[in-house]
Structure 1
Amino acid sequence: MSARRSEDEKVEAYSRALIEAGRASGRANADLVQWEHARKFSPEVLETLSAMRDADDLDLIPKVARQYKHILDSEDKTVSVTVTTSVPMDDDLREKVRAKAEKDLKAPVYLVERVDPTILGGIVLEARGHRYDASVKAQLTNIRKTLASTFVGSDEHDR
């Protein structure tokens, strides 16, 4: 009974410490989302993060991620392709995207799927440091820029 109480006290203490730190930075809900994903981390990732924290190197996480991806891409023939869509892909679309990417990249492809409703529709592909954005959001942005430059140019031409 005492071991269970001790575990419950630890859980309570850890939870409150996370909440306090998150609230102090205005990110309590964001921290909860991160915490939910943390259980998926491998022991190696957790150990590396701990070592980086101990060395005060957490600011290097984005650079380590890029280097990690670069090393994998350069040593492994399989190319990681990040595919962002506004809704989850079905099996048919997934296979079409994989086939097209493998043909274009001339290599086997591992798809990393992301769903981002803010792109409104279409698809965004990222591979080997390049980005192909065929999202509705990007198309609308391009139309807006074209219209703005056309109208700005027309105003100056009419003067």
Structure 2
Amino acid sequence: MSNKRSEDEKVEAYARALIEAGRAEGRANADLVQWEHARKFSPEVLETLSAMQASDDLDLVTKVASEYKSILDSEDKTVSVTVTTSVPMDDHLRAKVRERAEKQLKAPVYLVERVDPSILGGIVIEARGKRFDASIKAQLANIRKTLGSTFVGSDK
């Protein structure tokens, strides 16, 4: 039990240290968001950030990320394609999406699958900074916009 208490005390101490530091800089809530994402970091990322902090180089994080992407892109021609659907894709749809994306992009494709019930149906595809939105939600928004501009304030 004392081991559990010791762990709880450490956890509270770390959390309070983060809160105090964040409050002092006026960013306590932003730090919480960052902290929630930190658990996704690999040990290598955490180690690199620690080394950068020790060398007072944290201002280089954005440049390092850009260089990382540049090096990766020059060495690997695979295109990351994010596919959002309202329900999980089955193997048949996944293969069809991959095949079409590879044909369109003329490159091997790595699919990142997301499920977002709020799109209601259809599909949203993002690759190379472009977005193709064939979701029901987007179609309804377009219909609403068209009807609004056609009938509201119209003389016809």
Q: TM-score, normalised by structure 1?
A: 0.69
Counterpart in the other structure of 1:41 = 41
Deviations 1:70-94 (A, max 9, x none): 5533431211111112222222221
Alignment of 1:6-85 (within 5 A): 7-18=7-18, 27=29, 31=32, 35=35, 37-50=37-50, 51=52, 54-55=56-57, 57=59, 61=62, 68-69=68-69, 71-85=71-85
Asked if the contact 1:73–1:80 (Cα under 8 Å) also holds between the matched residues in 2, the reply is no
Counterpart in the other structure of 1:150 = 150
Counterpart in the other structure of 1:109 = 109
Q: Distance in 2 between matches of 1:79 and 1:64?
A: 20
Percent identity between the two aligned chains: 75
Q: Distance in 1 between matches of 2:92 and 2:57?
A: 46
Aligned residues: 151
- Aligned residue identity for 2:59: D
Over aligned residue pairs, what C-alpha RMSD do you find? 3.7
Q: Distance in 1 between matches of 2:69 and 2:121?
A: 27
The SS at the match of 1:14 is helix
Deviations 1:100-126 (A, max 9, x none): 111111211101112222222211111
Structure 1 residues 8, 70: CA separation in 2 closer, same or farther (over 3 Å shift)? same
Q: TM-score, normalised by structure 2?
A: 0.70
Q: Which runs of 5+ in 1 are unaligned?
A: none
Structure 1 residues 114, 92: CA separation in 2 closer, same or farther (over 3 Å shift)? same
Q: Distance in 2 between matches of 1:13 and 1:140?
A: 50
